[in-house]
A and B are shown apart, each in its own frame.
Chain A
Amino acid sequence: METLQFLLHGFAVSLAPMNLLWAAVGVTIGTAVGVLPGISPSLTVALLLPVTAALEPTGAFIMFGGIYYGAMYGGSTTSILLNTPGESGSIVTAIDGHAMARQGRGAQALATAAIGSFVAGTIATLALTFVAPAMVSFALMFGPAEYFALMILAFVTVTAVLGEALSRGMASLLLGLALGLIGIDMQTGAARLTLGVPELLDGIDVVVVAVGLFAIGETLFQASRHRYEKEEIYAIKGSIWMSREDWRRSWKPWLRGTAIGFPIGALPAGGSEIPTFLSYLVEKRLSKHPEEFGHGAIEAVAGPEAANNASAAGVLAPLLALGLPTSATAAIMLAAFQQYGLQPGPLLFENNPELVWGMIASLYIGNVFLLLLNLPLAGVWVKLLLIPRPWLYGGILAFATLGTYSLNNNIVDLVLLWLIGLGGFGMRVMNIPVAPCIVGLILGPMAEQQFRRALAISQGDLSVFYNPMTHPLSFSLLAAAIGFLIVPLLIRRRRG
Chain B
Amino acid sequence: MDSSAKFRLGKVTLGLLLIAIGSFVSVETLLLSDPTQQSTIGPKFFPLLIALGLGINGCVLLWEAFKDVFSEEEWPELDMAPVAIVLVALILQMLLLEAAGWIIATTLLFAIVAQAFGSRRVLVDLAIGLVLSTASFYLFNEGLGLSLPGGFIADYFDGV
Given A170-B57, A192-B47, A405-B97, A224-B148 contact (CB < 8 Å)? no
Please measure, in the bound complex, the distance between the C-alpha atom of A53 and the C-alpha atom of B145, giving whole angstroms: 9
Nearest A residue to B51 via CB reads A178
- The A-contacting residues of B in range 56-82, CB under 8 angstroms, are 57, 60-61, 64, 69-70, 73, 75-80, 82
Q: Is the CB of A223 within 8 A of B18?
A: no
- The A-contacting residues of B in range 88-110, CB under 8 angstroms, are 89-91, 93-94, 97-98, 102, 106, 109-110
**Least distance between B59 CB and chain A CB atoms (Å):** 10
Given A167-B64, A171-B61, A402-B136, A391-B87 contact (CB < 8 Å)? no
Please measure, in the bound complex, the distance between the C-alpha atom of A181 and the C-alpha atom of B44, giving whole angstroms: 10
Asked whether B154 is an interface residue with its Cβ less than 8 Å from the other chain, the reply is: no
The proximity string for B residues 130-151 relative to A, scoring 1 for CB distances below 8 Å and 0 otherwise, is 0011001000100011111100
Nearest A residue to B46 via CB reads A448
Q: Is the CB of B39 within 8 A of A429?
A: no
Q: Is the CB of A50 within 8 A of B140?
A: yes
Number of A-B contacts (CB under 8 A): 207
Nearest A residue to B132 via CB reads A398
Q: Pick the contact of B86: A174, A225, A397, A406 (CB < 8 A).
A: A397
Segment with Cβ contacts to B, from A183-191, A324-332, A477-485 = A183-191
Nearest B residue to A449 via CB reads B46
Q: Is the CB of A389 within 8 A of B117?
A: yes
Nearest B residue to A397 via CB reads B113
Which B residues touch A488, using CB under 8 A?
none
Asked whether B159 is an interface residue with its Cβ less than 8 Å from the other chain, the reply is: no
Chain B interface category by residue count: 35 or more
Q: Is the CB of B28 within 8 A of A192?
A: yes
Which B residues touch A181, using CB under 8 A?
25, 46-47, 50
Q: Is the CB of B117 within 8 A of A188?
A: no
Q: Is the CB of A425 within 8 A of B83?
A: yes
Asked whether B14 is an interface residue with its Cβ less than 8 Å from the other chain, the reply is: yes
Q: Is the CB of B47 within 8 A of A415?
A: no
Nearest A residue to B137 via CB reads A402
Asked whether B41 is an interface residue with its Cβ less than 8 Å from the other chain, the reply is: yes
Which A residues touch B83, using CB under 8 A?
220, 223-224, 425
Q: Is the CB of A459 within 8 A of B40?
A: yes
**Least distance between A57 CB and chain B CB atoms (Å):** 16
Segment with Cβ contacts to B, from A27-35, A130-138, A372-380, A450-458 = A450-458
Nearest B residue to A455 via CB reads B40
A–B pairs, 12, beta carbons within 8 Å: A185-B43, A188-B43, A190-B35, A219-B113, A388-B119, A390-B116, A395-B110, A406-B146, A414-B97, A418-B87, A426-B14, A452-B39
Write the residues of chain A forming the contact surface with B, with a CB cutoff of 8 angstroms: 50-51, 53-54, 165, 167-168, 170-171, 174-175, 177-178, 181, 185, 187-190, 192-193, 195, 216, 219-220, 222-228, 388-391, 393-395, 397-399, 401-402, 405-406, 409, 411, 414-415, 417-418, 421-422, 425-426, 429-432, 444, 448, 451-452, 455-456, 459-460
